[in-house]
Amino acid sequence: MAATMARHVILSSPYNATTDAAAVDAFAWERGDWTALWAQEGMRVRGLADDYPALVPLASAGERAFFGGAWGAFTRQIYGLGLLTAFLYLVLITAGTRYMAKRPAWNLRGLLILWNLALAVFSVVGAMRTVPHLLYLLATYGFTFTSCGPAGFTYGSSVSGVWTTLFIYSKYIEMVDTLFLILRKKPLRFLHWYHHLTVFLYCWDAFANEMPTGIFFIAMNYTVHAVMYTYYFLAAVLERPLSWGIVVTIMQVSQMFIGVGVTAASLRLVSLYSFTRVFPIATLPSDIPHVGCSAWPLNAVFALIMYATYLLLFLRFFVNRYIVTPKGKGGKGGKREREEEKDPCQTATEAANATISGLKKTV
């Protein structure tokens, strides 16, 4: 097999002339052995750079040569680390809050400016690396294949694979947001730690189970964070809230709507075509409905619940913040404006936390 096929085998529908379809047909894309096969042969679907060679120089050689199969296998081996980290995160919240209760707040404005700038740049680059690939997958192969095809085959290799892996492991680093809140003695409300905890656990499990729908959520999250952290970087530098904060909230609400829709559609596809982790490669992607869907049902259910709760919370915040209570007219809206002026580094997640008390009363 290895002797008869080029290292970078590109499977598409129809096949490239260089693809030995008969040889590929002898293999199964199976969880137990696909990592080694993928790492050796570099199998993946066509991407933008294959159709537009002029884009090749825009990615580094390391990005283009990246194969994420080893990282997926590694994550499965250390899966328990994610669960341990989630537990320690909850311990940090409890112990850290108690530790700072009788101590003065830290002044971290300069560090927060750098933090927001770093996350903004990271998210901008991540969006540039993943959004075009998602759009290409949808335009070239359609929603069903993009939502059901094995993730390592569709977006886990090359440039998109690099930024998928970075996205997943960056969720460890993003927990520093909570540490900043604790050290600055800012309100540590339910939605803040609920958001960080559930997103971390979901992403970790999705990466370990190679969820095909992950490319949707990664591209969306990179895009929203690119705008959000740019907003908070500028607000922190200028020491005042900016006039376009509503854009961030609208993007977040839209992300939740799409998240609910994609996960619901994913569950429907699994019910129609049945869950499987075995794919005869020669049938991909045109015949995938006849093979099955690789979306792990439990992870999809987790995602649906997670996105539905986020949607409810952010919709409530949007209505209360921008529709029910006019800004700057006194009352709660005016008070919130004054609080934001005092703390322009406040994140959108923190802002949404202000609605949780009212939500609990209605549930």
Catalytic residues: 195
d(CA 227, CA 225): 5
Long-range contacts of 252-258 (CB under 8 A, 24+ apart): 252/224, 252/228, 252/314, 252/348, 252/352, 253/311, 253/314, 253/315, 253/318, 255/220, 255/221, 255/224, 256/307, 256/310, 256/311, 256/314, 256/315, 257/311, 258/216, 258/220
359 contacts 315 by C-beta, under 8 angstroms: no
Pairing mode of beta strands 44-45, 10-11: parallel
d(CA 75, CA 163): 15
From residue 6, how far is each of 52, 113, 145, 155 by CA, in Å?
20, 47, 25, 20
**Closest to 142 (Cα-Cα) out of 75, 197, 212:** 212
| Residues in contact with 60: Cβ distance below 8 Å, sequence separation at least 6, in sequence order | none
From residue 140, how far is each of 45, 146, 281 by CA, in Å?
10, 10, 18
- Write out the DSSP string of 165-229: HHHHHHHHHHTHHHHHHHHTT----HHHHHHHHHHHHHHHHHHHTT-TTHHHHHHHHHHHHHHHH
